[in-house]
Structure 1
Amino acid sequence: MAGHSKFKNIMHRKGAQDKKRAASFSKLSREITVAAKMGTPDPDMNPRLRLAVNAAKAVSMPKDNIQRAIDKASRSDAENYEEVRYEGYGPGGIAIIVEALTDNRNRTATNVRTAFSKNGGNLGASGAVSHGFDRMGLITYPASVGDADTIFEAALEAGAEDVTSGEDEHEIWTAMDALHEVAKALEDKLGPAEGAKLAWKPQTTVELDEANAATLLKLVDTLDDDDDVQTVWGNYEVPDDVMAKLG
Structure 2
Amino acid sequence: MAGHSQFKNIMHRKGAQDIKRAKMFNKFAREISVAAKSGLPDPAANPRLRAAIIAARTQNMPKDRIDRAIKSGSPGGDDANYEEVRYEGYGPGGIALIVEALTDNRNRTAAEVRSAFTKHGGSLGETGSVAFMFSRIGLIVYPAKAAGAEAMFEAALEAGAENVESTDDVHEITTAVEDLSTVRDALEEKFGPADSSALTWKPVNTVAPDEETAASLLKLIDVLDDNDDVQTVSGNFEIADELLERLTA
Same fold (TM over 0.5): yes
Instruction: Tell me what 2:47 maps to.
Output: 47
1:112 is matched with 113
What percent of counterpart residues are identical?
Answer: 57
1:37 aligns with 2:34: no
Counterpart of 1:7 in structure 2 is 10
Greater displacement, 170-179 / 47-56: 47-56
Q: Is the 8 A contact 1:59 1:194 kept in 2?
A: no
Structure number with higher relative contact order (C-alpha < 8 Å, ≥ 6 residues apart): 1
Supply the distance in 2 between the matched residues of 1:167 and 1:115 (Cα, whole angstroms).
Answer: 36
Tell me, yes or no, if the aligned pair for 1:23 and 1:227 is still in contact at 8 Å. yes
Aligned-partner Cα distance in 2 for 1:123–1:237: 21
Structure-1 separation of matches of 2:95 and 2:229: 22
Call closer, same or farther: CA 1:179–1:227 in 2, change over 3 Å. same
1:91-136 CA distance string (max 9 Å, x none): 1211100000000111111111111111121110000000111111
User: Over the residues paired in the alignment, what is the CA RMSD in angstroms?
Assistant: 1.7
Structure 1 residue runs of 5 or longer lacking an equivalent are none
**Secondary structure of 2:56's aligned partner:** helix
Residue 166 of structure 1, CA deviation: 3.2
Change (3 A) 1:215 1:168: farther
TM (normalized to structure 2)? 0.92
Q: Tell me: CA distance 1:23–1:166, structure 2 relative to 1, closer, same or farther (3 Å).
A: farther
Q: Which sections of structure 2, spanning at least 5 residues, go unmatched?
A: none
Query: Who is 2:214 aligned against?
Result: 213
- The residue correspondences of 1:59-74 to structure 2 (distance < 5 A) are 59-73=59-73, 74=75
Q: Are 1:121 and 2:122 an aligned pair?
A: yes
SS in 1 for 2:185: helix
TM-score by length of 1: 0.92
- Structure (1/2) with the larger helix percentage: 2
Q: Which amino acid aligns with 1:2?
A: S
Total equivalences in the alignment:
244
| CA contact 2:14–2:24 (8 Å) conserved in 1 | no
Matched, 1:174 2:175: yes
Whether the 8 Å contact between 1:10 and 1:217 is mirrored in structure 2 is: no
Equivalences for 1:139-150 in 2 at 5 Å? 139-150=140-151
Cα distance, 1:10 vs structure 2? 4.3
Deviation at 1:53, TM superposition (A): 1.4
- Which moved further from structure 2: 21-30 or 219-228? 21-30
Change (3 A) 1:6 1:83: farther
Q: In the TM superposition, what is the alpha-carbon distance from 1:7 to its structure 2 partner?
A: 2.4
